[in-house]
Amino acid sequence: MNTLDLQNQRILVTGGAGFLGKQVIDQLLKAGAKSENISVPRSHNCDLRNLEACQQAAKGQDIIIHLAAHVGGIGLNQVKPAELFYDNLMMGTQLIHSAYQAGVKKFVCVGTICAYPKFTPVPFQEDDLWNGYPEETNAPYGIAKKALLVQLQAYRQQYGFNGIYLLPVNLYGPEDNFNPKSSHVIPALVRKVYEAQQRGDKQLPVWGDGSPSREFLYSTDAARGIVMATQHYDEPDPVNLGTNSEVTIRDLVELICELMEFQGEIVWETDKPNGQPRRCLDTNRAKERFGFVAEVEFRQGLKNTIDWYRQNPDL
């Protein structure tokens, strides 16, 4: 297995100030990168939907890790499908093209498991990625991100451009996005239980019927996997990053209530959407190709996330 020495590489991390980005930078430093060689473009002065901004950002870089995304839960996907499609497609496709033009040595694109077909055999295998249309509520986002895989494979084939594509499962952990308008399931539930406790509510309304399953990857594990792939993986095939274990939404809600000591009744709002029926990844490719295995146990990761939010409820 070839190892890319990060010590003298100039590395651009888009989304580097975000929830996952901070962890990726931490893992890059642990893997030998120098902090003065890592740059993080910010959206207020580097709008990656703009081609000139992408060209400027890519100039002089050796490695680009593209984490930046316009992303949210089912609610945001229902209200803003056009924005999610356009923003993610334009950011990614222009940055990849600019990276190729600028002679960047390696491009690491972090995609989404929303790209998988709605009815994918569980556990999801990378070879099933094209066997159907994604779940409707997040298809515009998923397809925009999946187009970047096609672009990287095409640029590799025609130009010899070294781009890799990773598919992390749902992430969670301290510093996640807890905004109720755009958060994913774990931070949304943690905040919901916290606020119910603050008000003294006796009931907790939750969307759906609790039957769908999800797999969750702790943010530090995800970041470690991304950096391991940056150092060791140079092939066109997409790679899942996950834990290869699933939990139903019902069990998740009950576990969060237990860890937060919420005594009230859970009320399932069965008229609300469930989202994709099951999500669980086959993680063999990541293990075989660059040795990645998740380490953080789910209950502990959840406890860390809850503890962080309790200390920072206003963020």
Query: Which residues are documented as binding site for substrate?
Result: 192, 207, 214
Question: Confidence band (pLDDT; 50, 70, 90) for 77?
Answer: confident
133 a catalytic residue: no
Q: What is the pLDDT of residue 44?
A: 86
Q: Is the pLDDT of residue 315 over 80?
A: no
Tell me what the mean pLDDT of segment 2-22 comes to.
Answer: 95
- pLDDT, one tens digit per residue, over 126-169 is 999 999 999 898 899 999 999 999 999 999 999 999 999 999 99
Choosing from 100, 116, 141, 194, the catalytic residue is 141
- Asked if the peptide bond before residue 168 counts as cis, ω within 30 degrees of 0, the response is no
Query: Which residues are documented as binding site for NADP(+)?
Result: 15-21, 145, 168-171, 184
The proportion of the chain whose per-residue pLDDT surpasses 70, expressed as a percent, equals 99
Query: Which residues are documented as binding site?
Result: 15-21, 145, 168-171, 184, 192, 207, 214
Q: Is the pLDDT of residue 264 over 90?
A: yes
